[in-house]
Chain A
Amino acid sequence: MRHVIIGAGPAGVTAAETLRKQDPAAEVVLIGDEPEPAYSRMAIPYYLSNKIGERGTYLRHDPDHLDKLGIGQIQSRVTRVDGAAKQLQLAGKDPVGFDRLLLATGSNPIKPPIQGLDQPGVHHCWTLEDARNIVKYAEPGSRVVLMGAGFIGCIIMEALVARGVKLTVVEMGDRMVPRMMDQASGNLIKQWCLGKGVDVHTSTRVLGVETSNSGGVRFRLTCDPVDAIDADLVVVAAGVKPATGYLDGSGIEIGQGVVVNDFLESSVPGIYAAGDTCEGMDWGTGQRAVHAIQPVAAETGRTAALNMCGRPTRHTGSMAMNVLDTLGLISVSYGQWMGVDGGDEVHRIDESAYRYIKLQFQEDRLVGAITLGMTEHVGVLRGLIQTRLPLGRWKQHLMEDPTRIMEAYLGAAQLTAG
């Protein structure tokens, strides 16, 4: 049995480890296209802010980790998947055959259709190589424009500010982090950034990035509706989308990502998908969705591997969950934070203290949450949502004071009614 995994990120590496553990006799091959040991994108911001060296970003710290497990590794880019022939074409290398295949190629950054993004000095922030480039150009005092105030944009902000750059953020949406924060919390994050000396323009489009000829300025960004912005470095963080380009002609059904069933198997038997690449069931809505987040990567990598080695394991769906540290302001969102039809909502906001909590209920079950400025016991929100625990009388406690989440959890889950 030969298992081949494309993609050496968290989903791919977790899958390789799981396969090895479950099926010691099988051959396991991991194909990655970056010239680095498997690393974690989550750690890049900390590399950018000098909190860790490059090695600190590595997913596994023993350099021989995969070798010791007897996992074969190929550094190459997969150019084509032939599902029928069970064969992969590689760029510049011999084809590789497989019995079972896992697609764990993650995401690619979205490049907005804007003129002038293809030039030196305009960088994505996605790979370790991107990070190296940003480190090189983000000199103290230089003007940096960050295009996009999404998750990636926010987490690299601290590193940029710490480098002493003059930072301007341009976001198309009407608030910061629109995909994981509601209006109130997105606005609070914006206020927080403004207070830290970062210029933030929401509801603003960059129309083009022009090379500037005027003294010392490298780029001029034309914007709508604000005036043009000068920049020495432009960082593009406009979101990501599943990396599926190499699957054209494979016969695998692609939606937003690789469409999988409850066992994470694609439309082609024997080919599975995990992590950012896969479009599986959203646990809460019952709709298909891509959840490009670390915990889902590890979980689906493991589940896919179990299925690949013949242990049918249902993936009951992944849940949107995010934690974000924007210049020290910590925000969290879970599940259906936007609420559900016929559900109840409770929230509290303290603008001066940058604290916010919002809970969404369906009947007496928690289905979504957003918090700002809360670091204690946040995970319990996940537990409550994902177990669909009936809160009973504790729901009323939360409607009266949503911060009493630990009491509600302990009361509903651990104590007998008293």
Chain B
Amino acid sequence: MSWQKKILRVNLTEGTCTPEPLNMEWAADYLGQRGLGTKYLVEEVDPKVDPVSPDNKLIFATGPLTGTAASTGARYSVVTKGALTGAIACSNSGGYFGAELKFAGWDMIIFEGKAPKPVYLYINDDQAELIPADGIWGKSVWEADKILHDRHQDPQLKISAIGRSGEEGVMYACIVNDLHRAAGRSGVGTVMGSKNLKAVAVRGTIGVSVKDPQRFMQTVTEKKKILAGNPVTGQGLPTYGTQVLMNVINEVGALPTRNSSAVQFDGASKISGEAMHEPRASDGKTNLVTNQACFGCTIACGRISRIDKEHYTVKNRPEYWGASGGLEYENAWSLGADCGVDDLDALTFANYICNEQGFDPITFGATLAAAMELYEKGVITDADTGGVKLNFGSAEALTTMAEQVGKNEGFGKILGLGSKRLCEKYGHPELSMSVKGQEFPAYDPRGIQGMGLTYATSNRGACHLRSYTVASEILGIPEKTDPLVTGGKAGLVKAFQDATAAVDSSGLCLFTTFAWTLEDFYPQIDAACEGEWTLERLAQTGERIWNLERQFNLAAGFTAQDDTLPKRMLTEPATSGPAKGKVNGLDQMLPEYYELRGWTKEGVPTSDTLQNLGLS
């Protein structure tokens, strides 16, 4: 019930697709999606493996509530050892693909080995086969999507694919499903490309059952009402999307600007959610066409945008005139504020290219920002860039480089390394705003202290989606804490990390937690899933998952030394806004965090901790 109890093992080397039963003991301990996918990876993959070698595995995992009527039951996660980071990677995506995989009768797909020639996986309910990727290898995500729909004569087919960047080894390639939803971070698409796997196309007509249908429907209906009545999930997100944050975060002085050399961006309002609603001077139309929901989502924060046909990016290029996935806050920040660019349509175009060719806009924007700083310092020159002026604020530089990264050509080949490798290459590792090789997103840890600890300890490298303390420190959810103080943040981060790990394993979307707590999750899980699911069990499941991920990273060679932040965050004070004069106080939070975690001073879980969590 709710689990399909069946996983598909795809051996790309051998070309075989083999169904096997889901390990229900593990499901009871790790729930699904992020947790259960990680458990399989940890059991099957040597943590020291080269991420882009055939020995790494790539796991697509749904949660028990994926494909149910629970609001936001769209999610699936891609779990692997990340190409960008070398750490555990778990990238979560919405859209329609995850639910479709579930409807076809599968909880999970495990890809192993490497195909001798490029292939894609076609799943039609219980039938699964690997098919040569002739005609789609070398194509963009959008082209491949169109070709596969046509080839299989099925408009309802749901497709998850890599673009050229994933094929070409761009280190932060993502896996894009339904044209513009992505398992975005840590280079999971790079791993997929290294396996010569172009796409997964799935059609499911079997459906999903739950344990107690009536109680489940009653519960999810109640919980949907909470989302509808909440100002963030009921109004802010549907109206402005995550872009509701742009002006807010800028005002609190936590908007990393020009590679984090500043914390406020004077062009913020021009690239904000509000700006997407304003008619353009050029054609009188708004950038935003509509909002869109992922499967089953009653929030509908997704942005669908359209670029002015006369804008320089798309003039005489009608293939970009249609509506497509628009700017989320993180992307508007990375492509915009972090590069100092305030041309909304240019950001939208760069975002299109990220979706079309399948690479992570956060890492791309942050890498370009680092390159811009190096260019302005004279370290990177026109000779390196092929004559493109990489100045902060240049929309042309942004969109040109997005296209070059997409095709892995020109200076795009260097930008495709990610900021850590790029900055090391040019002798300035300190200019990479990354942790464990992954660029941090749109919240400056000097203005929001808890996010410093969040980035430093995130198991997949810097990330906001591992403990979104912004909710508490800025939005007051579930209760307001002061963003400028470090006290209490260790406990806050741990609580958020554990709860998030549980939510990420359920099949539901983290964004519900603006309105829901674990108190709202466990009754939905309990009505759907076998066994008895209590608040305590769910919280402990989250903590177990966090520690399992940590163990993988430790075994992969990471140490407490890697639980840190870029020097700039720790030594260069914020230059304006409420956080002016502040650096991040990581050293005040980290020891307490280790202690609360039940880890040694070296950041290693004690045997007691492991035993309590059933991990020894």
Do A and B touch, yes or no (CB under 8 Å, in the complex)? yes
Residues of B within 8 A of A400 (CB): 150
B319 within 8 A of A: no
Alpha-carbon distance A174/B289, docked complex (angstroms):
53
Q: Choose one: B146, B153, B156; the contact of A350 (CB below 8 Å).
A: B153
Interface 1/0 per residue, B146-177 and A, CB below 8 Å:
10011111111000000000000000000000
Given the complex, which residues of B lie within 8 Å of A403, measured CB to CB? 149-150, 153-155
- Which residues of B lie under 8 Å from residue A355 when comparing CB positions? 152-153
Who on chain A is nearest to B157 by CB?
A403
Using Cβ atoms and an 8 Å threshold, which residues of chain A touch B155?
401, 403-404, 406-407
A404 to B153, CA, bound (A): 9
What residues of A have a CB within 8 angstroms of the CB of B149 in the complex? 401, 403
Contact among B146, B150, B156 with A348 in the assembled complex (CB-CB below 8 Å): B150
How far, in angstroms, from A406 to B154 measured CA to CA in the complex? 12
Within 8 A of B (CB), among A311-359: 348, 350, 353, 355-357
Q: Give chain A residues whose Cβ lies under 8 Å from the Cβ of B150.
A: 348, 400-401, 403
Q: How far is the CA of A401 from the CA of B156 in the complex (A)?
A: 13
Docked Cα-Cα span, A355 to B124, in Å, equals 13
Contact partners of B154 in chain A: CB under 8 A: 403
Complex Cα gap A256–B153 (Å): 39
Smallest beta-carbon distance A404→chain B, Å: 6
Residue-wise, chain A 397-418 has the 8 Å CB interface mask toward B (1 for contact) of 0001101101100000000000
Mark out the residues of chain A between 358 and 412 whose CB falls within 8 Å of any chain B CB in the assembled complex: 373-374, 376, 400-401, 403-404, 406-407
Instruction: Chain B residues near A406: list those with CB within 8 A.
Output: 155
Per the bound structure, the CA–CA distance linking A357 and B152 in Å amounts to 11
Q: Which residues of A contact B156 (CB under 8 A)?
A: 376
The smallest beta-carbon distance between B386 and chain A, in angstroms, is 35
**Are B146 and A401 within 8 A (Cβ)?**
yes
Most chain B Cβ neighbours within 10 Å, of A373, A400, A403:
A403
Interface range, A side: 10 to 19
Q: Give CA–CA (A348, B154) in the complex, Å.
A: 11
Q: Which residues of A contact B153 (CB under 8 A)?
A: 348, 350, 353, 355-357, 373-374, 403
**Least distance between B518 CB and chain A CB atoms (Å):** 40
CB distance from A345 to the nearest CB of B (A): 16
A142-162 vs B, CB cutoff 8 Å, 1 = contact: the mask equals 000000000000000000000
Inter-chain contacts of B152 with A (CB < 8 A): 350, 353, 355
Which residues from chain B contact A407 at a C-beta distance below 8 Å?
155
Shortest Cβ distance from B129 into A: residue: A352
Q: Contact string, B449-492, partner A, CB cutoff 8 A, digits 1/0?
A: 00000000000000000000000000000000000000000000
Q: How far is the CA of A353 from the CA of B157 in the complex (A)?
A: 14
Q: Roughly how many angstroms separate A407 CA and B156 CA in the complex, as a whole number?
A: 12
Bound Cα distance A360, B30 (Å): 54
Please provide the chain B residues from 119 to 149 with a CB less than 8 Å away from any CB of chain A in the complex: 146, 149
**A215 → chain B, closest Cβ, in Å?**
44
**CA gap between A400 and B150 in the complex, in Å:** 8
- Which residue of the partner chain B has the closest CB to A349? B153
Report Cα–Cα, A373/B154, bound state, in Å: 11
A285 to chain B, nearest CB (A): 28
Q: How far is the CB of A396 from chain B (nearest CB, A)?
A: 13
B289: nearest chain-A partner, CB-CB: A418
> What residue in chain B is nearest A401 (Cβ atoms)?
B150
Bound Cα distance from A400 to B319, whole angstroms? 14
The complex places the Cα of A406 from the Cα of B156 at a distance, in Å, of: 11
| Distance, CA A305 to CA B132, complexed state (A) | 59
What is the distance, in angstroms, from B104's C-beta to the closest C-beta of chain A?
Answer: 15
Q: B386-415: which residues lie under 8 A (CB-CB) from chain A?
A: none
Cβ contacts under 8 Å, A373 to chain B? 153
A357 to B156, CA, bound (A): 15
Whole-angstrom CA separation of A171 from B149 in the bound complex: 35
Taking CB atoms, residues of chain B closer than 8 Å to A376 are: 156
**Bound complex: CA A353 to CA B124 (Å):** 10
Chain A minimum-CB-distance residue to B150: A401
Closest-CB distance, A417 to chain B (whole angstroms)? 14
How far, in Å, is A49 (CB) from chain B's closest CB?
Answer: 24
* Alpha-carbon separation in the docked complex, A350 to B151 (Å): 7
Residues of B contacting A353 in the complex (Cβ-Cβ under 8 angstroms): 152-153
Chain B contacts for A356, CB-based, 8 A? 153
Residue of B nearest to A374 (CB): B153
CB neighbours of A348 from chain B (8 A): 150, 153
A374 vs B155: C-alpha distance in the bound complex, in angstroms? 11
Closest to B151 in A: A350
In the complex, A350→B152 CA distance in Å? 7
Nearest Cβ on chain B to A380's Cβ, whole angstroms: 13
How far is it, in angstroms, between the C-alpha of A356 and the C-alpha of B151 when the chains are bound? 11
State in angstroms the CA–CA spacing of A404 and B152 once bound together. Answer: 12
**Within the assembled complex, what's the spacing in Å between the Cα atoms of A350 and B157?**
15
List A residues 189-233 near B (Cβ within 8 Å): none
Interface residues of A in 95-109 (CB under 8 A from B): none
**Taking the nearest CB of chain A, how far is it from the CB of B322, in angstroms?**
11
Query: Which residue of A374, A401, A404 has the most chain B CB atoms within 10 A of its CB atom?
Result: A401
Chain A CB within 10 Å, residue with most, of B149, B155, B156? B155
C-alpha spacing A76/B125, complex, angstroms: 53
* Of listed B146, B149, B151, B153, residue having the most chain A CB within 10 A: B153
Distance in Å from the Cβ of A275 to the closest Cβ of chain B? Answer: 35
* Cβ distance A9 to chain B, nearest Cβ, rounded Å: 36
Q: Provide the residues of chain B in CB contact with A404, threshold 8 Å.
A: 155
- Cα(A343)–Cα(B154), bound, Å: 25
Nearest chain B CB to A71 CB, angstrom units: 44
Could you tell me the distance in whole angstroms from the C-beta of B262 to the nearest C-beta in chain A?
A: 41
CA distance in complex: A286, B103 (Å): 47
- Rounded to whole angstroms, the CA-CA distance of A355 and B203 in the bound complex is 15
B256: min CB distance to chain A, Å = 38
Shortest Cβ distance from B147 into A: residue? A401
CB distance from B124 to the nearest CB of A (A): 8
Q: How far is the CB of A83 from chain B (nearest CB, A)?
A: 52
Which chain B residues border A357 with CB–CB below 8 Å? Answer: 153
Seen from chain A, the residues whose Cβ lies within 8 Å of a Cβ on chain B are 348, 350, 353, 355-357, 373-374, 376, 400-401, 403-404, 406-407
Query: Can you list 22 A-B pairs with a CB-CB distance of less than 8 A?
Result: A348-B150, A348-B153, A350-B151, A350-B152, A350-B153, A353-B153, A355-B152, A355-B153, A356-B153, A357-B153, A373-B153, A376-B156, A400-B150, A401-B146, A401-B149, A401-B150, A401-B155, A403-B149, A403-B153, A403-B154, A403-B155, A406-B155
Closest 8 CB pairs of A and B: A355-B153, A403-B153, A401-B150, A348-B153, A403-B155, A404-B155, A350-B153, A357-B153
Taking A350-B152, A356-B153, A406-B155 as given, write out 10 further A-B residue pairs in contact, using a Cβ cutoff of 8 Å, ordered by the A residue number: A348-B150, A353-B153, A373-B153, A374-B153, A376-B156, A400-B150, A401-B146, A401-B155, A403-B149, A404-B155
Chain B residues packing against A (C-beta within 8 Å): 146, 149-156
